[in-house]
Every structure is written in C-alpha cells, then in structure tokens.
Amino acid sequence: MTGDVTVISGPSGVGKGTVVAALTAAYPEIWVSISATTRAPRAGERDGVDYFFISEAAFDELIANDGLLEWALVHGSARYGTPRAAVADAVAAGRRVILEIELQGARQIRQHLEGGRYVFIAPPSEEVLLHRLRGRGTETEDQVRRRMETAEVELRAANEFNHVVVNDDLGQAVAELVELLGL
C-alpha cells in the first residue's frame, strides 16, 4: 500500500488524542482511522466514534480474516487494531490518513507501507507524563503504573520515528504537525 499516511505514536497520556482532535478540527479533510479494541469504553466514549468496541471473539475473527492492518496487545490487557478496509478506502479516495497507534503497531505499519510519515509525540518529561496520566482520573493506580512502564519502553523508541513533537503547548504541537504534513 502507498498513500499519504501519517502514523502518530507516543506514550499513553501524552495527549496524542487531543493533538489529533485539534488538528482535524482545523483540517477536516484529514481522515483519522477508528481502531477496533477489546477494552471497555470509558465514560463518554462512543462506539464507532472513539473506537469500535468489540469482543475478544470478534477481534479473533478480524485477525483470522486479515481484517487488520496491524494490531497489538497494549498494556498487557486489551488488544487494539487498525481496520484494513477503511484505511484502504481512504487512501484510494486520496484522503490524508492519520493512524494514532502505539509503538508495536507503528513498527508493523512500517513493514507494510511505503513512504509513510512517522511522528512521535513526546511529553516534556516523564514527570509531566505521570502527572497527566494520574490527572486524567480514568485509570486505577495499578493501570497508571502499567502505562508508565509501557511509556518508558516507548520513550526509548522515539528515535525510530522521522519526527519528534514535544507536546508542551498544544497550539505549538499542532503547528508543528501542520508543518510536517504540509497542510
């Protein structure tokens, strides 16, 4: 597959979702893939908007049918994957595609895609990341701890990406992405 695909990665709690939401609000021509996940919805999350919330069996079926472009077990608890057909359609329609996924998925995409853009969103520091994860209030302390462990692995892999955007100031981070995407 070829196409204008930007993979945006970075540790959980770094604000990837907020950055991508601000970017698409300003540039509605961007198409953001909606992932399938076996994790339970958080309060306020909507099926088919934030994620496709599916069962373990349905996820197995997607894998068996080669319906996912990539997938990963994240934080040792839930599986997340990018539906293949929707991305292929968006690319075929000439849309600018964004995949907001974690490290293992980004590595898989790199194996299948020619000419993708790989952007790592980094926190100003690990302390700030921990503070944001706790402040979100959506995870238990045990979940926060596991996310910080994953984050440490992810932060060490930032150099695998073409670009690193530090999310200190939201407006600044979005402006850097606008420039990287040539918008």
| Helix ranges (DSSP H) in 66-139 | 84-92, 103-112, 126-136
- Shortest gap between Cβ of 18 and ligand 5GP (angstroms)? 12
Q: Which residues bind ligand 5GP (CB under 6 A)?
A: 12, 16, 35, 39, 70, 72, 74, 80-82, 100-102, 104-105
Q: Which is nearer to ligand 5GP, 12 or 182 (CB)?
A: 12
Q: Which is nearer to ligand 5GP, 27 or 52 (CB)?
A: 52
In the block, residue with structure tokens 């670009």: 163
**Residue type at 174?**
V
Alpha-carbon distance of 14 to 17, in angstroms, equals 9
CB nearest ligand 5GP: which residue?
A: 105
Q: Which is nearer to ligand 5GP, 100 or 176 (CB)?
A: 100
Q: Which is nearer to ligand 5GP, 46 or 182 (CB)?
A: 46
Q: Which is nearer to ligand 5GP, 96 or 105 (CB)?
A: 105
- Shortest gap between Cβ of 175 and ligand 5GP (angstroms)? 21
CA angle at 163 for the pair 116 and 14, rounded to the nearest 5°: 105
- Shortest gap between Cβ of 105 and ligand 5GP (angstroms)? 2
- Shortest gap between Cβ of 46 and ligand 5GP (angstroms)? 13
Which of 40, 110, 103 lies closest to 74 in space, CA to CA?
103
- Shortest gap between Cβ of 177 and ligand 5GP (angstroms)? 15
